[in-house]
Homo-oligomer: A and B are copies of this chain.
Amino acid sequence: MDWQRLITLQPTLAKIPETLKKLAEERNVDKGETLYRVGDQVRWMFSVISCELRLIRRNRNGMEIILQRSRSGFFGEASLTGGTYHCDVVVAEKGMLLQFPASAFRMALEESAEFRNAWIAHLAREVRRLRAQAERLCLRTTAERILHYIESEGVNNTLVLRQSRKAWAVELGLTHEALYRALRKMQADETLSIDGNQITLGQNN
């Protein structure tokens, strides 16, 4: 397994102890596959590399509501503590993920102080990021959300986009059309300037 490459994609993986790394497995998953069902024992901790996973709950009409959607990073951190899943986990887009035995994961957390601290830091960062995202999604207009994103995720008033604009639109809770139009208008405004995947704030914000 090429840990070097995986770690560049996901820095938290760097802090995983060797003993746990040895137990990790790459797994290719297909669209529609169900990784877990409600009530199943938690056996694996997943780290999404290139697929899309969804944590869903079904109501009595069989309609599903999406609780989480993940295209990268650890998935189902909350299940690690408890014993069984409260939701279903399905693959929405084929690709690859890493899986670690949950018991070994828990044990590694107990035994390695370094890993444990990295894990706490990881969760805390995730909390901060998600709180900022929720705050952003409460903003009413497209332009406000874009500015908020650049000011919170960018460095030095500049954002380097690491995903397609279409994917960005999803993260911003917008349609891609709305995003494209707003970007164009804000460029005309000189609210921001765009150079490929690099977006910089101008003076009119």
One digit per residue, 1 when the CB lies within 8 angstroms of any chain B CB and 0 when it does not, for chain A 48-70 equals: 00000001010111010111110
Q: Which of B55, B57, B151, B173 meets A65, CB within 8 Å?
A: B151
A161: Cβ under 8 A from any B Cβ: no
A60 contacts which chain B residues (CB < 8 A)? Answer: 157
Minimum CB distance partner of A137 in chain B: B137
Nearest-CB distance from A203 to chain B (Å)? 8
Across the interface, which residues of B come within 8 angstroms of A66, CB to CB?
135
Contact, CB under 8 Å: A61 / B135: no
B123 touches A81 (CB 8 A): no
For the complex formed, measure the closest distance between the CB of A186 and the CB atoms of chain B, giving whole angstroms: 15
Complex contact B120–A67 (CB within 8 A): no
Kindly state the separation between the CA atoms of A116 and B173 in the bound complex, as whole angstroms: 35
Contact (A124, B81) CB under 8 Å given A67-B135, A135-B66, A135-B68: yes
CA distance A127 to B66 in the complex (A): 15
In the bound complex, residues from chain B placing their C-beta under 8 Å from that of A160 are none
Instruction: State A12–B112 Cα separation when bound (angstroms).
Output: 24
Does the CB pair A127–B123 fall under 8 Å? yes
Q: Which residue from B65, B124, B125, B132 sits with its C-beta under 8 Å from A147?
A: B65
Among B59, B78, B121, B124, the residue within 8 A (CB) of A128 is B78
A194 at the interface (CB under 8 A from B): no
B201 near A78 with CB under 8 A, answer no
Chain B residues closer than 8 Å to A151, beta-carbon distance:
57, 59, 65
Hey, which chain B residues are within 8 Å of A123, CB to CB?
A: 120, 123-124, 126-127
